[in-house]
Amino acid sequence: MTGAARPPSRGVMGWVYVGDEEPDPRFSLANERTFLAWVRTALAFIACGVAVSLLGVPSLGSWHALVSYCLIAVGVLSAVTGMVRWMRAERAMRMGTILPRLGVAGVVVAGVLISAALLCAALLS
């Protein structure tokens, strides 16, 4: 059905699928791939946090809990950031407006830097 409009969507994601036309599928699929990259990154951080917590690395001493919580928090934040970013970009493409800025990604980068600093401090102490 070329040119057919999608019926209005009701539900949680209804606000994302607005606009008169569907965007080019290549752009929607690229947006989805970016979202999946955020999810993979989130899973990696969470897995690292769980590994640090469960392995109880002796050289980390009492720091391992703080390092693992920080890694898990960065993972959760990455997943949420990816989802919000996907929704905002998809909506902007459908409405024909400018794509949103990265926003919260700076917080994710700060979390990575803090986790790395904690890990280095724990290994050096």
* pLDDT range class, residue 4, cuts 50, 70, 90: low
Confirm whether 104 is domain-assigned: yes
DSSP string across 53-95: HHHT-GGGTTHHHHHHHHHHHHHHHHHHHHHHHHHHHHHHHHH
What pLDDT, in 10s, does the model give residues 64-118? Answer: 788 888 899 999 999 999 998 998 898 888 888 888 887 777 878 888 888 888 8
* pLDDT range class, residue 12, cuts 50, 70, 90: low
Confirm whether 59 is domain-assigned: yes
Confirm whether 88 is domain-assigned: yes
Confirm whether 69 is domain-assigned: yes
Phi, psi of 5 (to 5 degrees): -85, 145
Confirm whether 70 is domain-assigned: yes
Domain containing 103 equals 38-124
Predicted confidence at residue 1, as pLDDT, reads: 46
Confirm whether 89 is domain-assigned: yes
**pTM reported for the whole predicted model:** 0.76
Total number of domains constituting the chain: 1
